[in-house]
Amino acid sequence: MHNLRARRWANVAAVYAFLLLLSIVFMGPFVFAFLSSLKDNPTEWPPSLLINQLRPVNWGASYRLAKQGGGNGFLGGMGPGGSIEFEVTYWTPEGQEPAPPEVVIPRRVQGAPPRRWP
C-alpha cells in the first residue's frame, strides 16, 4: 500500500517535471525576450539572466546616490554642494602601479546650458 502511494506521488512528480520542462520550451523565449528588453545591451554575449535593473542591491545603491546628489532618493538629480560616494573598479597590467583615477565634475553657472559630452 505504502509502495503504491509512493509510486503515485512519484508519477505526479514526473508529470509535473515534464510539464515544467516543456513550459521552458514554450514560454522561455518570451520570458528571456522580456527580461532582455530591460537590459542596457539586449544582445550581450554571453547572454545572461542576471538583469542589473532588477537587482534590489542596485535599487538600494541608486537610492543612496540619488539621496546624496539631490536630496531625494526617488527623483535623483544633482544639487549644489552635494557630496556623493564614487566607487570604481579597474584593471591594470601586472607590475604597473595603479594610478588613482580623478573625476572632474564641471561647475555649472546659473543659466548656462548643460554641457554636452561627446
Binding site for another protein (CB under 8 A): 6-19, 22-23, 25-27, 29-30, 32-33, 42-43, 45-47
Return the number of the residue (18 or 59) whose C-beta is nearest another protein. Answer: 18
**Cβ contacts of 35 within 8 Å, gap of 6 or more:** 49, 51, 54
Measured from the CB of residue 19, what is the shortest distance to another protein in angstroms?
A: 5
Measured from the CB of residue 27, what is the shortest distance to another protein in angstroms?
A: 5
The one-letter amino acid at 51: I
Measured from the CB of residue 37, what is the shortest distance to another protein in angstroms?
A: 10
Of 24, 26, 105, 61, nearest in space to 115 by CA: 105
Q: Which three cell numbers stand for residue 54?
A: 532588477
**Cβ contacts of 90 within 8 Å, gap of 6 or more:** 98, 101
Return the number of the residue (10 or 38) whose C-beta is nearest another protein. Answer: 10
Return the number of the residue (37 or 110) whose C-beta is nearest another protein. Answer: 37
